Amino acid sequence: MRNVCGWVAVLLAWSSVSWSAESRPIQPTGEDVMEISLSDTYKRLKAPETGRLAVQLTSGEGFTYPLYFFIPSITRDGKYLIYHRAADGEVQLHRLNFATGQSQQLTHAQRPDTQWRPWCVDSGRGVLDHRSVLNVARNLVIYFDRNDVHAVDVETLEDELLFVIPEGREAYGQNGTTPDGKWLVYIHTPRGSIWGEPCQGAAVVAYNFDTKEQRTLCHIDSAIFHVTAYDNEHFIVTHPADHSGMLLTDLHSGKIELLRDGDPGVRGHLIHCHATSRGISYEVPEVQLSGLYDPFTRRRFEFSFPESFQYIHTGRDPEGRLWFYENSSGWDKFDVHDIHALVSLDRQAGDRWLRLTGTWPTYGGGQKAHFHPQLTPDRKWILMTGGDTTTETNHIFLLDVSDLKDSEGISTELLSATGANDLVR
């Protein structure tokens, strides 16, 4: 079978692909449960309307934000946060020591054009915006400077050139590493490609840190913007320009398969999705529902959002136990901008939700204006980007959720090939 395929060809060629029944989801990030120790120097404040404790980790001119929220930004030992700082026409990566409050610049990249088109605003020169990766298992940060791909050791700051992307191509999407730390999986496209415009031969490629092997997993005729490790061998890809949704590829088969699409009774196309130890969590804003999905058995459980929800980002919990969401007026509109947690789903008594923040203003546009909420490994905080009214820019906060229990009413026992157990309107 051909390895180069557009979205229609993907559906026709790979609809019969079946994955090994022995392949099961594992903890997808390599993160350990290490409690974060916070310096007393951080500013403590109350979240808008709810009064919930928030701790401001970064401040100053410009914008700061973690790595993209599909992947971890906190080191395995809980010591450091890896984040971007975009200021004065430059975007570079930094590490923040939680316990001391001290930051250290990690990168000195000089690529003139770093913008993630069409999804974010321009930040000037530096690292390719939103495309860096923390290899939790090896304590390395991978970043892209022009076509050079580097790894910097978080502790020692030693910087190593890993490889060079071929001339005429460039890193396009948000990337990831496997939980065991052996593979970097990244996306490159013909130079100048933009999602939504014609593109032939976007590639999902795996790089082995030990052997230096480069392995092309698949080609797709569209610029694609996320590849996330589901386990040490399988990867979630989202999504071709003419089809919002998720696909699955792996290290060995050379194949790529549509997920959820074509399953009995599904409605709408998902936008954001996270690999968890229970399956894939996701939301489908156009029909106001969320769900859990097993990519190997194609079984799902879906449930409806409150009718007041508008545009949604599903929060990231690598264990799939706490379900929480960023809610905004639109993809780039923030008249309403708050966070909600699911307390419980109950067919008889009704669903229970908890509003964690009121509308928290953010500034600027694109990805930098989104909360992109993610649970810290110690499960006590939500790491998020929020607005700072003193500078009218966005910075990084921790929101206290130490009082929250696991969301009730979602389990792998409810997964069904037909959606028989779904709780949808």
- pLDDT tens digits for range 260-301: 999 999 999 999 999 999 999 999 999 999 999 999 999 999
Report how far residue 229's alpha carbon sits from residue 276's, in angstroms, rounded to the nearest whole number. 10
Residue type, 292: L
Report how far residue 280's alpha carbon sits from residue 271's, in angstroms, rounded to the nearest whole number. 12
Average model confidence (pLDDT) across the chain: 92
Assess whether pLDDT exceeds 50 at residue 60: yes
Residue type, 108: H
Q: What is the pLDDT of residue 107?
A: 98
Confidence class for position 32, pLDDT limits 50, 70, 90:
low
* pLDDT, average across residues 240-255: 89
Q: What is the DSSP string of 384-414?
A: EEEEETTTTEEEEEEEE-TTPPPPBS--GGG
- Report the range of poorest mean pLDDT among 240-244, 301-305, 371-375: 240-244
Confidence class for position 241, pLDDT limits 50, 70, 90:
confident
Residue-wise pLDDT tens digits, 153-195: 999 999 999 999 999 999 999 999 999 999 999 999 999 999 8
In this structure, the number of other CB atoms found within 10 A of the CB of residue 255 comes to 18
In this structure, the number of other CB atoms found within 10 A of the CB of residue 340 comes to 21
Residue-wise pLDDT tens digits, 89-138: 999 999 999 999 999 999 999 999 998 888 899 999 999 999 999 999 99
Q: Which of 189, 272, 267, 280 is nearest to 235 (CA)?
A: 280
Q: What is the pLDDT of residue 414?
A: 98
Assess whether pLDDT exceeds 80 at residue 10: no
Helices (H) and strands (E) in the chain, counts: 1, 32
Report how far residue 380's alpha carbon sits from residue 421's, in angstroms, rounded to the nearest whole number. 31
Q: What is the DSSP string of 294-363?
A: ETTTTEEEEEEPPTT--EEEE-B-TTS-S-EEEEEEETTEEEEEEEEEEEE--TTT--EEEEEES-----
Assess whether pLDDT exceeds 80 at residue 33: no
Query: Residue 393 pairs with which residues in a beta bridge?
Result: 388
